[in-house]
Structure 1
Amino acid sequence: MPQDAALSKDKLVSDLKVVVADAEELLKATASQAGEKAAELRSRIQDRLRDAKVRLADAEAALIDTTKAAARATDDFVHDHPWKAVGVAAAVGLVIGVLIGRR
């Protein structure tokens, strides 16, 4: 998985956690509101928040698993092909050095 996609998923998980926390806070703040309609709405929202938390935990676990798999694959490649890894690292370092040197 490209690094940008992993960062986007990580940001999405973080943003969803904030939304869930805000929604829970809103439910607590409106707990004193009377009426059958308000109670029904709060109950429905609580159910959806519970489901969202489960899906969020699943998404976070999947993101962690994907990141670990990418790290394992990189580690395996470096162990299987150490000179290629050194060559790639040197080439990347050279490119970064040239780009920095132009400024």
Structure 2
Amino acid sequence: MPDSRASVEAQEKLVSDIKSVISDAEEMLSATADQVGDKVATLRARVQTRLHDAKVRLGEAEAVLVAKTKAAARATDAYVHESPWTSIGVAAGVGLLLGLVI
């Protein structure tokens, strides 16, 4: 489970980073809206197309991430129901360790 959790966290960070890049690019497009010229217009159109594509792919990635998170939660829930005493022991051990650290 730790590997899948790290993978989900890495994917969440990637999604967050991509959202930030998209936001920055949209701000740049807005800031340069008054620029004129064929090259600028072509570049702006190309960037807008790529931003749209990135948003679509980001939405798909978020859907996959949510599905993986839900699957991990269901697997954890099933494990806890199948092995309640093991789960209680692990939780107690983690609590004890945290108590000692604090």
Q: Which of 81, 85, 96 is the equivalent residue of 1:79? A: 81
Q: Which runs of 5+ in 1 are unaligned?
A: none
Residue 21 of structure 1 corresponds to which residue in structure 2? 23
Deviation at 1:3, TM superposition (A): 2.9
Is 1:54 matched with 2:72?
A: no
CA distance in 1, matches of 2:31, 2:96: 57
What's the RMSD between the two structures over aligned residues?
1.6
Deviations 1:56-84 (A, max 9, x none): 11111111111111110000111111112
Aligned runs of 1:1-103 on 2, under 5 Å? 1-100=3-102
CA distance in 1, matches of 2:22, 2:14: 12
CA distance in 2, matches of 1:29, 1:97: 52
Change (3 A) 1:22 1:61: same
- TM-score, structure 1 as length reference: 0.84
Deviation at 1:91, TM superposition (A): 2.3
Q: Which runs of 5+ in 2 are unaligned?
A: none
Moved more, 51-60 or 91-100: 91-100
Moved more, 39-48 or 4-13: 4-13
Deviation at 1:46, TM superposition (A): 0.6
Deviation at 1:96, TM superposition (A): 2.9
Deviations 1:29-51 (A, max 9, x none): 21221111111111111110011
